[in-house]
Amino acid sequence: MERKIGFFILTALAGIALVIIFAGLRQDIFTAKDRIYFTSENGQGINEGMAVKLSGFKIGKITSLELDDKAHVKVVMAISRKYMKWIKTDSTARLVKEGIIGDSIIEIIPGSAPAALLKDDGTVPFEREKGISAMVEELKDEIKPVIRDIREIVAYINDPKGNIKATLANVETLSDDLSETGNKLNLLLKDADKAVALNSVKVSGLLDNITSTVGNANKAITVTGKEIPPIMEKVNAGLENLRKTTEEIRKAVEKAAHSIPPLVQKGGETASGVKEIVDSLKKTWPISSFITPPVQKTLDVDSYE
Amino acid sequence: MNKAGLITKTGKDWTLSLGRFFMTACLLLALSSCGGKQTFVSPGHMNAAELNHRAETAFMTGDYDKSLDLYREALRVNRSMEDTDGIAVSLINIAAAYRKSGDTDNASLTLDSLLEDRTLSYPPNRLSFAAFLKAMLFMDANSYGKASEWADKARSFCGQGACPLNGKLYNLRARIALASKDFASAVTLGTEGLRFNRDLDDRMETANSLRIISEAKAAVGNYKEAGDMLAEALALDKTMGKGTGVHADLMGLGRLALMKGDRTSALVLFRRALAVSEASRDAEGAAEALKMIGQCSTDSEKR
User: In chain A, which residue's Cα lies nearest the Cα of B197?
Assistant: A303
Sign of CA dihedral B76, B81, B84, B85: negative
Q: What's the one-letter identity of residue B94?
A: I
Preceding peptide of A286 cis, ω within 30°: yes
Interface test with chain B among A275, A295, A299, by most B beta carbons within 10 Å: A299
Please list the residues that pair with A60 across neighbouring strands. A52, A79
Task: Look over chain A and give the mean of its residue pLDDT values, rounded to a whole number.
Answer: 79
Please tell me the least confidently modeled range out of A5-9, A252-256, B62-66, B69-73: A252-256
Give the pLDDT of residue B239.
Answer: 95
Q: What's the one-letter identity of residue B121?
A: S
Calpha distance A150→A147 (Å, rounded) = 5
Task: Give the pLDDT band (50/70/90) at residue A293.
Answer: confident
Whether residues A303 and B96 touch (CB distance < 8 A) is answered with: no
- Mean pLDDT, rounded, for A241-255: 77
Instruction: Please tell me which of the candidates B93, B169, B171 has its beta carbon nearest to residue A304.
Output: B171
User: In chain A, which residue's Cα lies nearest the Cα of B60?
Assistant: A299
HSE of B84, CA atoms in CB hemisphere, 13 A: 12
- Mean pLDDT, rounded, for A15-44: 84
- Which residues have a Cβ under 8 Å from the Cβ of B189 and sit 6 or more positions away? B170, B171, B173, B174, B177
Please list the residues that pair with A34 across neighbouring strands. A79
Kindly report the nearest CA distance between residue B86 and chain A, in angstroms: 7
Calpha distance A266→A259 (Å, rounded) = 11
**How would you write A197-227 as a 3-class SS string?**
HHHHHHHHHHHHHHHHHHHHHHHHHHHHHHH
Query: Any idea what DSSP says for residue A91?
Result: -
Task: Give the pLDDT band (50/70/90) at residue B3.
Answer: very low
The DSSP element (H or E) to which A178 belongs, if any, is helix A163-190
Calpha distance A52→A86 (Å, rounded) = 13
Indicate whether B11 pLDDT > 70. no
Instruction: Please tell me which of the candidates B31, B36, B48 has its beta carbon nearest to residue A296.
Output: B48
Sign of CA dihedral B225, B231, B237, B239: negative
Indicate whether A199 pLDDT > 80. no
Which of the listed ranges A223-232, B39-48, B71-80, B161-170 does the model predict with the highest average pLDDT? B71-80
Q: Confirm if B166 and B189 have CB atoms less than 8 A apart.
A: no
Q: What is the pTM of this model?
A: 0.53
Give the pLDDT of residue B21.
Answer: 65
Calpha distance B162→B156 (Å, rounded) = 11
Indicate whether B168 pLDDT > 80. yes
Task: Give the pLDDT band (50/70/90) at residue B301.
Answer: low
Please state, for a pLDDT cut of 70, what percent of chain A lies above it. Answer: 83
Give the pLDDT of residue A236.
Answer: 81
Instruction: Report chain A residues whose CB lies below 8 A from the CB of B248.
Output: 304
Kindly report the nearest CA distance between residue B168 and chain A, in angstroms: 6
Whether ipTM > 0.95 holds is: no
Whether residues B74 and A303 touch (CB distance < 8 A) is answered with: no
Instruction: Please tell me which of the candidates B32, B46, B86 has its beta carbon nearest to residue A285.
Output: B32
Calpha distance A111→A103 (Å, rounded) = 24
Q: What's the one-letter identity of residue B241?
A: G
Give the pLDDT of residue B4.
Answer: 44
**Greater confidence, B254 or A119?**
B254
Indicate whether A187 pLDDT > 50. yes
Start-to-end Cα distance in chain A: 91
Task: Give the pLDDT band (50/70/90) at residue B188.
Answer: very high
**Strand A73-80 and strand A57-67: pairing?**
antiparallel
Indicate whether B5 pLDDT > 50. no
Phi, psi of A263 (to 5 degrees): -65, -45
Whether residues B205 and A303 touch (CB distance < 8 A) is answered with: yes
Give the pLDDT of residue A24.
Answer: 76
**Greater confidence, A173 or B55?**
B55
Alpha helices, H only, chain B: 11-34, 43-60, 64-81, 84-100, 104-115, 124-140, 144-157, 166-179, 183-200, 203-219, 223-240, 243-259, 263-279, 283-302
